[in-house]
Amino acid sequence: MKTIPQEELFHRIEGFQEKLKEKGTDLAVIIQNADLYYFSGTIQAEYLFIPQEGEPVLLVRRGSERAQAESSFKKIIEFKSSREIPNILTQEDIELPEELGLELDVLSYQVATKLQHILEADKLVNITTVIRQSRMIKSDYEIILMKRAANQLKKIPTLIKSNLQEGMSELELSSIIEEHLRLQGHPGRIRMRGLTNEMPIGVCVSGDNAEVPLKTDALCGGPGIHASIGIGSSKKKIIEGEPIVIDFVSNHHGYHVDQTRLAVLGEPSAYLQETYEKSVELLDKLSEYLLPQHTWQEIYEQGKRLAEELDVADYFMGHGENKVRFVGHGVGLELNEFPFLADGLDIDLEPGMTIALEPKLLIPELGAIGIENTYLITEDGPQNLTTSSEELIIV
C-alpha cells in the first residue's frame, strides 16, 4: 500500500527541486531515514536521488518489492554496489553533478566523501537547511497525522491519576505511560536529528532530578537509568509534594507531538500551586504570540518578558549557569525541527508550522514547574493540538 499520497509526494519534490534550482545544486541525495521517508514514502531504499528537474530515482540494495509497495515513485532500482551508481544515473538521464547536495549535518564523513568520489562531484553542499525548510510547513495531510499523534497523549493525565502511587519510582510511572502509548501504535522510538541526540520517548522526572545537567540542549530530561544513557526517567522513588514532570512525545506514522503535564503526589505546597498557575499563565499568554507576523526570536524574547512580569525570570528555562536559550521548537518527522524559538533567529513564523512551546521554570531545590503544548500556526492564530487537561494532576 502506498504510504504518502502521490499528489502530496510530487508536490514535496517539486517544492524541493525549486529550492535546489535557487541554490544552484545539480543533484541531491537523500539518505537519512526521516528525510527519506518525507521525500519517498519508504525507508527501504538506501539512496534517493533528486535531480534539479525530472523524476527522482530510488536505489534499493534488496527488497525492492517493499519499496515499490510503499512509494509512489516508478523509478525504483535494485543495485549491489555503489560503483554502479554513475551508470544507473546515466541510464535514467541524470547528469553527474558539479555541485552535489547532501545531508552534511548527519551524513558520515565516510559516506559523503565516498559519494563525492563516485559521482565525481566538484563540490559538496549541505542541503539540510533546504530540507528542514521544506519540512517545517506542514500540509493539510500532515496536520491530520499530527492531530492523530496528539491524540495518543490525550489520556496521560487520567492515566497518572489512576496509577500514581506512594513508593513508585519515576521508571515505574514512566513504563505505564510507555505501554499506554505503545498500545496506541507508538513505535517505541522517536527521531531526533544529530548523532548524539539520543532521547527516550518520554520522561517522568521528579523533584531535583529535573536539575541534572544534560548534554542535549533540553531541560528536565532527568538523569536516566544510568550514566551510559544519561537522560530519562530514573529509579528514584517519587516523594510526596515534589513536582513530577510528565514529558512525552507521541509518534504516529513517524510524526511526533510533544506534551508536558505536571503531577504531584499528595498535597502540593501553596508555593508550588501558585508557581504552577504562573507557569500556565505564562504558556497561555506566550502561545497567543504564535502568529505569522512574529519572528522566532521574538517568541523567546516575549517568553523572557512574560517571566519577568510574573516575577519568575530567575527560573525561566533553568537557573544560573544551566539555563537553556530557547522556549520552543518545531516538531514533525523529527523532534528538533524548524523553527527554533531562540535568540538570534530573525525569521518569520508561518502558517503550517507546528511548534512545541515549553516555558518551564526550574526552581532550586524544588524541581521543574511548567507544562508544554504543541501548536499549529494558522492565519487565524495558534491552534493547540495537545488538548489534555492542563490542571495540576494531584494524586
Residue ranges that bind a second copy, judged by CB under 8 A: 3, 31-33, 37, 41-46, 61-63, 65-66, 70, 102, 104-113, 124, 126, 171-172, 174-175, 178-179, 182-183, 185-189, 191, 195-196, 198, 200-201, 212-215, 224-230, 232, 235, 251, 253-254, 321-322, 333
Closest CA to 380 of 355, 351, 338: 351
Work out how close the CB of 74 gets to a second copy at its nearest, in angstroms, rounded to a whole number. Answer: 18
The b-or-e profile of 31-51 (16+ CB within 10 A means b, else e) is bbebbbbbbbbbbbbbbbbbb
Closest CA to 293 of 184, 188, 378, 211: 378
CB of 381 to a second copy, least distance (A): 30
Torsion of CA 156, 161, 166, 168, to 10 degrees: -20
Our CB check for a second copy shows the closer of 54 and 63 to be: 63
Which C-beta is closer to a second copy: that of 174 or that of 373? 174
Residue with smaller CB distance to a second copy, 187 or 351 = 187
- Residue 288 C-beta: closest distance to a second copy, Å: 31
Q: Shortest approach of a second copy to residue 268 CB, angstroms? A: 28
Half-sphere exposure (Cβ direction) of 395: Cα atoms closer than 13 Å: 23
CB of 347 to a second copy, least distance (A): 21
Q: For residues 43 and 150, which CB has a smaller minimum distance to a second copy in the complex?
A: 43
Nearer to a second copy, 116 or 378 (CB): 116
State residue 378 phi and psi, 5-degree precision. Answer: -130, 170
Nearest to 211 by CA among 371, 364, 328, 370: 364
Output the nine-digit C-alpha cell for 117: 568520489
Q: How far is the CB of 346 from a second copy (least distance, A)?
A: 21
Q: How many residues does the chain have?
A: 395
d(CA 247, CA 354): 17
With vertex at residue 318, the alpha carbon angle to CA 315 and CA 324, rounded to the nearest 5 degrees, is 135
In angstroms, rounded to a whole number, what is the distance separating the alpha carbons of residues 331 and 339?
A: 9
Nearest distance from residue 211's CB to a second copy, in Å? 10
Which residue's CB is nearer to a second copy, number 33 or number 133?
A: 33
Q: Mention every residue, 6+ apart, whose C-beta is less than 8 A from residue 195.
A: 106
Q: Which is nearer to a second copy, 230 or 303 (CB)?
A: 230
Spatial separation of the C-alpha atoms in residues 198 and 228, rounded to whole Å: 11
Structural contact between residues 8 and 139, judged by C-beta atoms closer than 8 angstroms: yes
Distance CA 48, CA 31 (A): 7
Q: Beta 57-60 vs 76-78: how paired, if at all?
A: parallel
Q: How far is the CB of 59 from a second copy (least distance, A)?
A: 12
Burial label, 1 (beta-carbon count in 10 A; 0-12, 13-18, 19+)? exposed
Is residue 223 classed exposed, middle or buried when 0-12, 13-18 and 19+ CB atoms within 10 A define those classes?
A: buried
Q: How far is the CB of 143 from a second copy (least distance, A)?
A: 16
**Least gap, CB of 328 to a second copy (angstroms):** 20
Least separation in angstroms between residue 112's CB and a second copy is: 4
Nearest residue (CB) to a second copy, 90 versus 322: 322
By beta-carbon proximity to a second copy, the closer residue of 219 and 385 is 219
CA distances for 358 relative to 27, 118, 138, angstroms: 38, 45, 20
Between residues 23 and 285, which has the closer beta carbon with respect to a second copy?
23
- Tell me: cis bond preceding 382? Omega within 30 of 0 counts: no
Instruction: CB nearer to a second copy: give 95 or 179.
Output: 179
